Structures are given as structure tokens and as C-alpha cells.
Structure 1
Amino acid sequence: MRFAWKVFLSTVIVIAVVFAIGGFILITSFFDSALSRETDRALEENQLTKLAYESAATTYVNQGEKLTDEAVINSVSSLESSGRRGIVVADENYETVFTSTGEAADMQLMAETEADRTYRIGRTGERYEITVCCRTTVGERTVYLETSRDITSIFQEREMQFDTYTEWSIVLLLLSAIVMLAVSMFLTRPLARLSATTRRIAEGDYDVRMRVKGEDEIAEFTRDFNAMTDAVQDKMYDLENTARQREDFVASFAHELKTPLTSIIGYADMLRSKQMAPEEMFLASNYIFTEGKRLEALSLKLLELMVLDRQEFEKRRVNPRVLMEEIEGLMLPIMEKAGLILEVSAQNAVLMIEPDLFKTLLVNLIDNARKASEPGSTIEVYGHVRGRDYLFCVRDHGRGIPEDEIKKITEAFYMVDKSRARAQNGAGLGLALSDKIARLHGSRLEFKSVVGSGTLVCIRVRRAAGRRRA
């Protein structure tokens, strides 16, 4: 059953129950009030009848006569002639002495009557009446006086009220049902729109969103739903990007392996299967050696990337100036062999970093600068304090990087100049590894490059609390 129908039916049932209970209580209250008034009148009439009888019977006694049945009848007859109706008189044995109704005395009611009066509400056919009985003694003659009052009208009035209330309750209930049906449809309309939106999203329309109206719970739920959809869409895009990057990674890796392996196998087969001149043997062996070194570098870089994804590293307090001096000593022989000038400068500070990883990051940046530079040019490596951060920078004056390729250079296996990079045993993983290390330190690589003028790469690291050493 739809939620709108549940709201509609439950509301209509509640209204019907409230109407029924409320009407019953209201009509019963009016009836009880009317019945109480009629009962008081019946008791009052019985009391007046008793006083009138006692007055008439006392007259007989004062005249020296006995209260015989005839005298009692005469006394009561005078009351009937005065306008009172429904009088029954019985003696001490509950035998009827006089009746104006043609009915015998109610022996059970008289048996229950002692000093005070007793009454009972009874029904005869379609007629309701209140019968009141009292006991009185005059001249040593005890009799029971029974009076009746017709109260059929209040019972009939109650039945009419129930009928009228039932008719109007049905009318009002139908009107309420129509109103509640419209209200339930209106209140659940956002849920219907939400259901339609979820179906569209399930069909692949991930950009659709619900419109937020008002500030009630449904509006809040709509906002949460839109936020959830945004989060799911972002996660899907991230997963798609990750899957695409992995596909690109596998494709690039396969491509990087295919060419050198084919050449290595081919030259190795030539060396083992045919006689070659010494010069040709040297060239073939040298190519096998060169491609083998490149595959070795490729495997080491891949291993480092895998280790970074699966390992947590402990950061230590490090002076970047000492770190830069170690890197300078490591890279100077390589720079001299390539005919390049390496200039290193650094300010003292205290950083919380993993020194081995950070050394790998800077070495990769310097090595990339070396590959992009021509012999005789200068590579500058410097570090200085910048506010609360410490800034490491590597600048070269080489070929530069086109602007549309800067966003891609940290992707695995991406190379700006593939032929030159392969000639230098490059695999396109150095910057990917450096970017991974930078992110482990809560930072990122910042590139500025001009084609033909060179490239500047910087990384910012938050300084640790502590005094600077001179």
C-alpha cells in the first residue's frame, strides 16, 4: 500500500473513532443530565404524594375513625382527583389496596423500601417510566405509596440525537476523507518526486537533483538526499578516474615493457644464433645492457610506488639545510658527468618529515631537471622559510613544459619527450613517485614552466615548533 493511502486511511480511521467516542460521550452526558432531572422530579412528586396522603389520613384519624382500606382508598382517590396519576397503594403484606394504573404493586420494589424511598427505571413495551416507592405510617396503619412518571420522551430524544449525530458524522467523515486525501497526496508529493528522481539516477542520470522547498523535515530530507547523491557521484567519478588511471597504468606499463623486451630478445637471439663482427656484438650487447638498466629502473620505481601505498612512515625532526647538503654531495658527480652546474642553498629550520622519502623526492626533481637541461646550464636547488612554511624549489633552464601537459606530468609513465626520456633510461615514474611522497607529507608539487626558458618545481612543508639553529 502506498504511503499516501496509509496516511489517508489512518487519519480517516482516527477521525471516525474520535467522532464516535466524542458523540457517544456528548449524547450520553446530555441523556444522563435529563434523566437525573426527571428522577429528581419523580422523587419530589412521590414526596408530595406522601405528604398529601398523610394529611388526608390524619383527618380520618382525628375524627376517631380507623384507617380501613376504604379510608385509605378515599384518601388516595382525593389525590388522584387533584391531578396526580400513576398511584399504587399496598399494605404491609404488599397486597394492592388501590391502583390508578390497573397494575399491581411492585412487590420487589416495596420489599427494598425501608425508611427512605426507593426508585427504579423500567420499560414496558415502548414506554419508559420511573417508579418511586415510599413507606408511611398513619394511625398505626402502614402503607406503601408507589408513584410512576413517564420518561419515554428522553429516551426517544436520545435515539433521535444518536440518529442525527450518526448522519452528520457520516457527512463530516466523508468531507474529512476528501480533505485528508488531498492533504495526504500533497504531503507525499515530494516523496513521489524523490522516488522518480531515484529511478532516474538508477537509470544513469547522475546529474538530476531534487528541488528544495520550505524548511520542514521533508525539505531537510531532500537536502540530505541531494548531498548524498553529490557524495555518491563524486565517489563514482573518483572510482572511474581510478579505474581509468589503472587501465592507463597497465597499458603504459605493457607498452614500456614490450619495446625493450622485444629488442633484448631479438639481439640476444642474434648473439647466440649467428656469428657477428666484434663491433656488431658490442652494439647488440650495449643495447641489451642499456634496455636492461632501464627495465631495472622501471621495476625499482614501481616497487617504491607499491611500498608507498602499503606502508606508514614515521616522521622525524630534520634540519632541511643538512638534508640539502647530503643531496648536494650525492648529485654533484652526476651533474659533473652531465656537464651541468648545481647550485644549492638552504636556510636553517626544523621540519617534521621522513628524511629518506624526502631525499628521494628532491633527487627525482633534480634528476628530471638534469634530463631537461643542456650541458653547461645551471640547476638551482634552494630552500627558505616562507611564513609558517618551508619552501623547497628546484629550477632548471632547459626546454620547459607546455602548459597543457603540466597537469599530466605526475601521472605514471607520462613523459613529455618520450624518445629523450627512454634514451636516458627514464620510465615516466619519477614525478609520480615524488607527487606521492609530497602528498604523504600533506603537500603537493607546484609547477611553473615556460617553454624554452625552463621549469620551477616547488613543495611547501609546514615547519615544526622549535627554535631555528644558526
Structure 2
Amino acid sequence: MKQRTFLTTLALFLFFFNLGIFIVSVAMFRDTVNRAEDRSLGEHYFIASALIKDLQAVESRGTDIDGSLSSLLQPYSYLSGDNKAGLVFYKNNQLVFSSKDATVLQSNSLEPAGNGNRLATIRKIDGRTYVIVSGKLPAPYDSYTLVYLYDTTEAINSWSRLKNILFLAGFVLSVLLAFGLHLVLNRIFRPLKQISRTSKDIANGAYETRLPVSGHDELTEMSQSFNHMAEEIQRQMTELKDAADRKQQFVDNFAHELRTPLTAIYGYAEYMQKAVLSEDDRLSALNYIMSESRRLQTVAFQLLEVANLQNNQITSEELTVSSLFETVSQTLYGKLAGKNVQIEFSSEIETIRGDACLMESMLINLIDNAIKACGKGGHIVVSAAKEVGRKTVSVRDNGKGMTPEVLSQITEPFYRGEKSRNRSDGGAGLGLAICKQIASSHDAELSFSSRPGKGTTAKITFTI
């Protein structure tokens, strides 16, 4: 593109510049010729007027005109003293007089005018340029024709030299312009080259590449816009990579989660098929198969619940916090039996908006995790309050707590901070992922804070 712009701009400049020189040269040539013609016409008129008076004087004295022509015309030969002007005189198309320079021109058949009008012409004779003015004298001397010759060769040569100088200067100026234009286009197209190079780097995966920004012109604005676009591309590619990593982790965890129960089911089924078992052994194997089948069923139901929460809109209504806490407490009554864990409910707000079943499910999941984190003598506080103008529900325990690394991943599907404990409790690592999705569907934010040995706090902050 730069080369095409350079050639097009240079061609247009050369065309119009040389056209301008040509027009100026033609105008100067015409001016030179017109001045020579005006001079020649003026001299011809002056000589013809003076000659008529001389002829009238000769005729008044009764002297023969033809015999006196040579002496009458001789005084006008001074015009040829500078070797630029000459006279030729005809009578009835017969040459009767010529100046010194004009004698050389007789071989070129100078023709007198065919009518009484004066005629000015430009002729090139023997390598020299002449302005020739011819015209008949007025009656009664119309048989005589006066031809005036003016050598304008030097003026034409001066014009030619000036024209050559102009074209030479135009050539030098064109070379300088071509060089300057090349520098300017290099400067203009340098950002475009940088954009092209940076675009290729970004396309090859170097998303951190940026354009240098300097100045306050349009190219600077373009560089800033390009860098903003590159930042957005980098951000989106990072998000896509993180999403791809999460999906791959989900698939890996899902495959791992299925492998253990499927292996057990297949092993016990094969054992029952090939071995001779007692009734007690057969019932024990069937119980284990059913237990692992229930685990698979639980995983399937939980995954279906996550999918439904992502794709469906919830039905939101005003919920009484005290009633919600009472329902959750009754549901968890069985889980607390024999665990020596105390749960305390408190509320500073009367209502929250949401889906009753989903809110119960989320609180039960959070409290169930808190129960698992607490040992004997554990204490769990479930509270509802208003913080910074927003309604919140929090679940705080005094259990084992979590490290920052574990805390950052606990809402990922199939993630287990303590794999052995979760599997022994029948969990699949989907509970907190479901809680996060439930909170998101309520336009709420689920956050966790924890310190190892100091317990964990799960907080639901409603934005509406």
C-alpha cells in the first residue's frame, strides 16, 4: 500500500508540475513571439509611412520614382546595423531592393503579401528564426511591397535556455520531492507496520504485546484503541483458557467420581456371577451395589440440578426468615443426632426475596458442610442481618477451617478439600457448586472467609 501511495502521489505531482512548467514555457514563448511581432509591425508601419512621404516628395519634384528607390531606401538600411533587421522592397513582385542581411534570404523565395494587408509570419531560415512582416503600400503606390525582417533567434534561444533550466529545476525538485515523500510515507506508515507486526504477534499467541503510544495525533488515538482491543482480547482469551481448564477439570473429576462406584458395582456383580455365595454374602454384595448406585444417582441428580439452575428462571417471593430457619432446623435434626454440635439461629431482618425450596437447599448444604467441619462440641451460628444497606445470611462455624488455596476452589464442581472425609460422607463435591449457582440465580453473591483452626464463615449477600 505504501508503494502504491508513493507512486500515485509522485506521478500526480510530476504530471501537474511538468504541466505547469510546460504551460509557463508556452506562455513565455508566446510572449516572446508577440513582442517580436509587435516590434516588427511597428517598425514596418514607421518605415512604410516615412517611405510614402519620400515617394510623394520625389514625385512632386517630377523625378522618376523607380530610379530614386535605391537612394530613398538606403537611409533605412541603418536598421540592419545590429544584424537583426533587414528590408526587402518589391515592385509588382519583382525585387528592386534588399538590405545586406536580406540578400542572404532571397534564396528562400520571400513572397510579398498577395493583398494590401500587412502579414506577419514566423519563419526559420538557415537555422535562424525571423519575424517577417510584408505589406503593400497604399494607393497610388500599391504596386510596391515592403517586407521587414527581424531576427528573433537570440530571444528564442534565450527562451529555450530558460525552458531547459525550468525543466532541469523541475527534475531536481522532483527528485527531492520523491525523497521527501518517501521519508514522510515511511513515518506515516510506520505505525501501520507496527500494527501489522503486533497483530501477527497477537495472532501467534503473544497477547501481552502492545503498541508504543506517544504524541496527541490521530495515530496515537489509533494506537490507544488498538491497545485497548488487545487488552480485551487478552482478557477474553484468559477467560476462555480458564473456562477450558475448568471444563477439563470438571471432566477429569467427573470421570474420577464415576470410576470408583462403577468399579465396585462391576466387581461385586462379577463376584456374584462367578462365585458360590451364601445368602449373607449375596445380600452384602447387593447392599454395596445399591449403595454405589445411590451414589451415582445422587451425582446425576446434583448435576441435573446445576443444569436446571443455569437454564431456568426462579420464582421469587417474599420469605419470612424465621420460618425459613425453622424449616432448615427441622430438616437437619436427624443429622445432628449423636454429633454433639450446637446450631444457633438469629435474625435481625424479617424477610428476604427468593425461592423457598432453593433457599432451604442452599442453607442446608452450607450448614451440612459446617457440621462436617466441626468436631464434637462444635458451634454453628446461622444469622440474617443487614450490612451496608444489603441483606445478608451467614453460616459461621468453629471447625477446622481452610487454607487460602482450598478456599479459592471450594465452589468448583467435584472439588474436595479433604477427599477421604467427603467420600466417607457420601459427598460428590457438588454441594457448594450448587450453592453458588443458587446464589447467582437470586442475584446474590456467595463468599467464604476462613482460617485453618479458626473456622469458616459462608455469607450470602443479596443485591436486590
Q: TM-score range by the shorter chain?
A: 0.7 to 0.9
Q: CA deviation at 1:358?
A: 5.0
Residues 219 and 462 (structure 1), Cα distance of their counterparts in 2 relative to 1, 3 Å cut: same
How high is the sequence identity, in percent, across the aligned residues? 29
Residues 159 and 429 (structure 1), Cα distance of their counterparts in 2 relative to 1, 3 Å cut: same
Residues 106 and 298 (structure 1), Cα distance of their counterparts in 2 relative to 1, 3 Å cut: same
The answer on 1:244 being equivalent to 2:235 is no
Q: CA deviation at 1:211?
A: 2.8
The answer to whether the 8 A contact 1:96-1:105 is kept is no
The answer on 1:433 being equivalent to 2:438 is no
Determine the C-alpha separation between the residues in 2 that align with 1:356 and 1:161. 101
How many residues end up aligned between the 2 structures? Answer: 449
2:295 is matched with 294
Q: CA deviation at 1:75?
A: 4.0
1:394 is matched with 395
Alignment of 1:102-181 (within 5 A): 102=103, 103=106, 104-107=109-112, 109-111=113-115, 114=117, 117-139=118-140, 141=142, 143-181=144-182
Residues 136 and 390 (structure 1), Cα distance of their counterparts in 2 relative to 1, 3 Å cut: farther
Deviation string 1:14-39 (CA, Å, 9 cap, x unpaired) is: 55445433433343343333333222
2:339 is matched with none
Q: SS in structure 1 opposite 2:408?
A: helix
Q: CA deviation at 1:461?
A: 2.3
Tell me the C-alpha RMSD between the 2 structures: 3.5
AA at the equivalent of 1:418 = K
Q: CA deviation at 1:299?
A: 0.6
Q: CA deviation at 1:263?
A: 1.9
Deviation string 1:291-336 (CA, Å, 9 cap, x unpaired) is: 3222222111111223344x252664x32x43x4564354233321
The answer to whether the 8 A contact 1:89-1:145 is kept is yes
Q: CA deviation at 1:386?
A: 3.3
Q: Single out whichever of 41-50 and 444-453 deviates more from structure 2.
A: 444-453
Q: CA deviation at 1:167?
A: 3.8
The answer to whether the 8 A contact 2:314-2:441 is kept is no
Determine the C-alpha separation between the residues in 2 that align with 1:403 and 1:128. 104
The answer to whether the 8 A contact 1:130-1:150 is kept is yes
Q: Single out whichever of 329-338 and 40-49 deviates more from structure 2.
A: 329-338
Q: CA deviation at 1:345?
A: 2.5
Alignment of 1:351-390 (within 5 A): 351=353, 357=358, 360-374=361-375, 377-390=378-391
Determine the C-alpha separation between the residues in 1 that align with 2:312 and 2:24. 77
AA at the equivalent of 1:332 = S
Q: CA deviation at 1:255?
A: 1.0
Deviation string 1:392-430 (CA, Å, 9 cap, x unpaired) is: 322233332223211010111012222222233211112
The answer on 1:30 being equivalent to 2:28 is yes
Deviation string 1:179-222 (CA, Å, 9 cap, x unpaired) is: 55555555545555555555555555444433333334444443
Determine the C-alpha separation between the residues in 1 that align with 2:39 and 2:241. 92
Q: CA deviation at 1:285?
A: 4.1
Q: CA deviation at 1:277?
A: 5.2
Q: CA deviation at 1:135?
A: 4.5
Q: SS in structure 1 opposite 2:402?
A: coil
Determine the C-alpha separation between the residues in 2 that align with 1:97 and 1:357. 133
AA at the equivalent of 2:313 = F
Name which of 314, 335, 340 aligns with 1:338: 335
Which stretches in structure 1 are left out of the alignment for 5+ residues? Answer: 464-470
Residues 406 and 82 (structure 1), Cα distance of their counterparts in 2 relative to 1, 3 Å cut: closer
The answer to whether the 8 A contact 2:88-2:146 is kept is yes
AA at the equivalent of 1:87 = L
Residues 206 and 253 (structure 1), Cα distance of their counterparts in 2 relative to 1, 3 Å cut: same
Which stretches in structure 2 are left out of the alignment for 5+ residues? Answer: 337-341
Determine the C-alpha separation between the residues in 2 that align with 1:179 and 1:230. 36
Residues 208 and 76 (structure 1), Cα distance of their counterparts in 2 relative to 1, 3 Å cut: same
The answer to whether the 8 A contact 1:397-1:455 is kept is yes
Determine the C-alpha separation between the residues in 1 that align with 2:314 and 2:329. 29
Determine the C-alpha separation between the residues in 1 that align with 2:127 and 2:442. 99
Determine the C-alpha separation between the residues in 2 that align with 1:122 and 1:315. 107
TM-score by length of 2: 0.81
AA at the equivalent of 1:337 = G
The answer to whether the 8 A contact 2:207-2:233 is kept is no
Q: CA deviation at 1:431?
A: 1.3
Deviation string 1:245-278 (CA, Å, 9 cap, x unpaired) is: 1221111111111111222333344456533354
The answer to whether the 8 A contact 1:57-1:138 is kept is no
Alignment of 1:45-60 (within 5 A): 45-60=43-58
Residues 304 and 76 (structure 1), Cα distance of their counterparts in 2 relative to 1, 3 Å cut: farther
The answer to whether the 8 A contact 1:410-1:432 is kept is yes
Determine the C-alpha separation between the residues in 1 that align with 2:325 and 2:231. 48
Residues 356 and 433 (structure 1), Cα distance of their counterparts in 2 relative to 1, 3 Å cut: same
Name which of 267, 272, 278 aligns with 1:276: 278
Q: CA deviation at 1:7?
A: 5.4
The answer to whether the 8 A contact 1:8-1:180 is kept is yes
AA at the equivalent of 1:446 = S
Residues 57 and 205 (structure 1), Cα distance of their counterparts in 2 relative to 1, 3 Å cut: same
Determine the C-alpha separation between the residues in 2 that align with 1:312 and 1:121. 100
The answer on 1:230 being equivalent to 2:231 is yes
Alignment of 1:257-268 (within 5 A): 257-268=258-269
Residues 70 and 440 (structure 1), Cα distance of their counterparts in 2 relative to 1, 3 Å cut: farther
2:452 is matched with 451
Residues 358 and 77 (structure 1), Cα distance of their counterparts in 2 relative to 1, 3 Å cut: farther
Determine the C-alpha separation between the residues in 2 that align with 1:301 and 1:244. 21
Determine the C-alpha separation between the residues in 2 that align with 1:444 and 1:145. 116
1:467 is matched with none
Q: CA deviation at 1:50?
A: 2.1
Q: SS in structure 2 opposite 1:380?
A: strand
Q: CA deviation at 1:79?
A: 3.0
AA at the equivalent of 1:145 = L
Determine the C-alpha separation between the residues in 1 that align with 2:210 and 2:125. 74
Residues 89 and 349 (structure 1), Cα distance of their counterparts in 2 relative to 1, 3 Å cut: farther
Determine the C-alpha separation between the residues in 2 that align with 1:43 and 1:130. 9
